[in-house]
Amino acid sequence: MGRPFDKTQGRPFGFTLCATDGRARLGEFETPHGLVHTPAFMPVGTQGAVKATLHRDLVEIGAEIILGNTYHLFLRPGDELIARRGGLHRFIGWERPMLTDSGGFQVFSLAQRRTITEEGAEFQSHLDGSRHQLTPERAVDIQARLGSDIAMVLDECLAFPATHEDAAESMQRSVRWAARCRARLELLRGTPSPDVMVSNPGQAQFGIVQGGVFSDLRQESADATVAIGFEGYAIGGLSVGEPIDQMYQVVEETTARLPGALPRYLMGAGTPEDLVECVARGIDMFDCVLPTRNARNGQLFTSVGRLNIKNAKYAEDEGPVDPACRCYTCTHHSRAYLRHLYQAGEMTAGALNTLHNLTFYLDTMKRIREAIQLGTFERFRQEFLRSVRLKPDTTNGVSSLSLDS
Ligand SMILES: [Zn+2]
């Protein structure tokens, strides 16, 4: 179980479970930068900005926490520069909670010429080819300098599909790395290091459960990670190409082995349906690039399914993207205008589309929380799934959309 913070430093990270409805959980957690209501969706602010969006708008549409990518920030502008500028919150001007990943996922997916050993990962920057090493300890130090409210342990990201043997070996290495990450954080909490400027002494750290799609490995990973003891637990290595039912099954089995009193975070998922389906299986936190990336590609999520603004049938459509949405985009602009902006390559298209998609995601989380509070989550789930599967673009029998997560 997670240990309390040193009371002399920062504010404690506290998770409170407020209500449950089936396996869905309503909760809130306290961070040094304020409260987050769960289930929560975290917009992805890759390089210190959620693409095509102002922080002001994120606050207005109800984003309580955003995510920053350690790999990107480490390479540019650099974690030491950010620490000198007072930490990531101050540097980017975002006063609410933030979570940073460990950088591992991008090392595995973006970096060039990487070598993975027990010590850590060696890689070349995708920007300029410079060589770097990311060890578990280094991932902790970088995130300590960034000063996010929640830091993630470094884990090994397994390619899908993987054999049971490879998944087992990788999972066991991730557990050993998690223990090193925890030891490093406790060292930093106990004795300030002259080499590491800690920007946020109240930073929490989450462990990550791995193990591919294998139930026995997920169980072993969950038990071993919980035994190390973190302030919360994430499920990693999903939404990487496995069948959706398999993902839901892993989530269901894994949450059952995690401590009920601590938050659970499903990394990198997902679609609006995934949010609802995984809340139903006990997940409290999500992040995904889908609403922001798809917005920039002209794909919009609505209460009646997905809509592709590029579609010629919207050329003179006076209606809003989603009549049920109260975002700035939907209350001020027509589908016809948004289609025109997209076709013309105007940056405003990305901004307006992103604002709408994030509003849809954050409103969905709000509706989920309200339904859990009222004890009507199961009814909400059935109605939501039925309506978002309507797919307005498929009325002519042709789906013009594909998900690119
Ligand atoms: Zn809208």
Rounded to the nearest whole angstrom, what is the distance from the C-alpha of residue 355 to the centroid of ligand 1? 7
DSSP label of 11: -
Rounded to the nearest whole angstrom, what is the distance from the C-alpha of residue 206 to the centroid of ligand 1? 33
Which residues are CB-contacts of 151 (< 8 A; sequence separation ≥ 6)? 99, 100, 102, 140, 143, 144, 185, 203, 204, 205, 206
Environment class of residue 252 by beta-carbon count within 10 Å: exposed (0-12), middle (13-18) or buried (19+)?
middle
pLDDT of 2 strictly over 50: no
Q: Which of 173-182, 185-194, 207-216, 276-285 has the lowest mean pLDDT?
A: 185-194
Rounded to the nearest whole angstrom, what is the distance from the C-alpha of residue 326 to the centroid of ligand 1? 6
Q: By percentage, how much of the chain surpasses pLDDT 90?
A: 89
Rounded to the nearest whole angstrom, what is the distance from the C-alpha of residue 374 to the centroid of ligand 1? 25
Task: Classify 195 as helix, strand or coil.
Answer: coil
Rounded to the nearest whole angstrom, what is the distance from the C-alpha of residue 388 to the centroid of ligand 1? 15
CB neighbour burial string for 184-198, b if at least 16 within 10 angstroms, e if fewer:
bbeebbeeeeeebbb
Rounded to the nearest whole angstrom, what is the distance from the C-alpha of residue 58 to the centroid of ligand 1? 13
CB neighbour burial string for 305-338, b if at least 16 within 10 angstroms, e if fewer:
bbbbbebeebeebeebbbeebebbbbeebbbebb
pLDDT of 193 strictly over 90: no
H-run or E-run covering 402: none
CA distance 356 to 292: 9
Rounded to the nearest whole angstrom, what is the distance from the C-alpha of residue 351 to the centroid of ligand 1? 12
Rounded to the nearest whole angstrom, what is the distance from the C-alpha of residue 71 to the centroid of ligand 1? 32
Residue whose token pair is 């509706």: 367
Task: Classify 14 as helix, strand or coil.
Answer: strand
* Active-site annotation, residues: 101, 287
Question: Whole-number mean pLDDT of the chain?
Answer: 93
Secondary structure (DSSP) of 213-281 = T-HHHHHHHHHHHHHH--SEEEE-S-SSSS-HHHHHHHHHHHHTTS-TTS-EEETT---HHHHHHHHTT
CA distance 11 to 156: 31
Identify whether the C-beta of residue 225 lies closer than 8 Å to the C-beta of residue 209: yes
Residue 151: closest CA among 171, 175, 178: 178
Task: Classify 178 as helix, strand or coil.
Answer: helix
Q: What is the pLDDT of residues 103-118, one digit of tens each?
A: 999 998 888 889 999 9
Which residues are CB-contacts of 106 (< 8 A; sequence separation ≥ 6)? 69, 70, 71, 72
Residue 100: closest CA among 244, 267, 243: 267
Q: Residue 58 — very low, low, confident or very high, per pLDDT cuts 50/70/90?
A: very high
CA distance 99 to 263: 13
Q: Does the global pTM surpass 0.75?
A: yes
Over residues 187-213, the mean pLDDT reads 94
Task: Classify 388 as helix, strand or coil.
Answer: helix
Residue 218: closest CA among 204, 238, 239: 238
Q: What is the CA radius of gyration of the chain?
A: 21
Q: Residue 12 — very low, low, confident or very high, per pLDDT cuts 50/70/90?
A: low
CA distance 310 to 300: 10
Over residues 254-264, the mean pLDDT reads 97
Over residues 157-167, the mean pLDDT reads 94
